Amino acid sequence: MERPPVRLYSSPSIIALGHLLNYPPVLLYYERIMILRIPRPISAGIILFYKCSGECRHCMYACSPRWIADWMSEQDLERILRNLSGNIKGVPVEPYGIGPFNGTATGTRIGINYGLHLTGGEPFLNFDISLKAAHRLKDYGFPSTFVETNSFWCTDDHTTREKLILLREAGLHGILVSVNPFVIEHVPFERIERLVRVGSEVFGNNVLIYQGYFYHQFKQLGLRGTLPFDEYIKLADIRSLLNVELIPMGRAVYRLQGLLECLYGRRRAEEFFGESCVYELTRPWHVHIDIYCNYMTGYCGGLSLGDVRDLDSICAGVDLDDRPILAALVEDLR
């Protein structure tokens, strides 16, 4: 079978990663057995729990306050980190000494598609677990580590600074602040601004605002407090939502069905016949591992390639004969 080409991703949030050329996904056939070869992950996010402080309309994992308080166990976290150790790639030092990170040591700068990050749900709902996880990331020497948050907990400067300093002292390299029209429905903008400001004092340039477009838009609008989504639509051009990178999965397909159709059009199922998701399912960067140790690639929430506690078995190849849904996504959606 001819080896398929490597596709370069053009999303504005994705940095071109030249080393992806070393990870061409391939289907291997042994008589009638179809094996999907999975490369080892080079960047990942660990979902410590699905419980969240809010219920964003677009959440790909349908996180909410209604999830049970089920946290990742220390034993599972240890096995996951042990299996990931040695594979994760950090952000490279900028060439030729150019840019704001000139002189930053390899592995300490953060980037959304590099390193290892802690996520949820909302990691700050159980700060003790997140802090313990940060310590273990340092113990294993993982590069480019950060935690994602919606800023709900940033009620004052002292609390915000105290927790960030604890994370920094634990060895975490930075923080990612989620900002979009769905988060702002339940998190006052002042808390987001506080985290960006105090986070910059603690972590310097290692504060990622995702997405910066909305952060600056909200500042220009003079936003204070929260803002219902219907009110946001009245204030902003609906095309602004193209900057959210709305992925038609999770809660979005139920809560934003009309909006998705307005932005992207409506397609019949037959239009996807003949297509393959092999690249997304075998993508080695920004994979997610959840509290139940499911190994999920390409933002494909709900599609587990196996138990990450046995990562060697996954990377040895996934037998698609036992997984008809994955087989259909890989070969043909017909």
pLDDT tens over the chain, length 334 residues: 333 332 222 233 333 333 343 455 555 554 556 899 999 999 999 999 999 999 999 999 999 999 998 999 999 999 999 999 999 999 987 654 444 444 444 579 999 999 999 999 999 999 999 999 999 999 999 999 999 999 999 999 999 999 999 999 999 999 999 999 999 999 999 999 999 999 999 999 999 999 999 999 999 999 999 999 999 999 998 888 888 878 888 899 899 988 888 888 888 888 888 888 899 999 999 999 999 999 999 888 789 999 999 999 999 999 998 898 899 898 877 7
Q: What pLDDT score was predicted for residue 16?
A: 35
Which residues have C-beta within 8 Å of that of residue 74, sequence separation ≥ 6?
132
How far is residue 212 CA from its own chain's centroid? Answer: 16
Torsion of CA 46, 48, 51, 54, to 10 degrees: -50
Measured CA distances, 236 to 184, 217, 240, 244, 293 (Å): 14, 9, 7, 13, 40
Q: What pLDDT score was predicted for residue 331?
A: 85
Does the domain at 41-308 match CATH 3.40.50? Answer given as: no
Q: What pLDDT score was predicted for residue 15?
A: 32
**Residue spans per domain, the chain:** 41-308
pTM: 0.87
CA nearest neighbour of 87 among 153, 155, 39, 147: 39
Strands (DSSP E) contained in the chain are 26-30, 33-37, 44-47, 116-119, 146-149, 174-178, 207-210, 287-289, 295-296, 318-319
Cis amide prior to 217 (ω within 30 degrees): no
CA nearest neighbour of 180 among 211, 209, 216, 219: 211
Q: What pLDDT score was predicted for residue 94?
A: 61
Q: What angle do CA 127, 189, 258 make, to 5 degrees?
A: 100
What are φ and ψ of residue 130, in 5° steps? -65, -40
SS3 224: coil
Q: What pLDDT score was predicted for residue 28?
A: 56
CA nearest neighbour of 129 among 120, 140, 116: 120
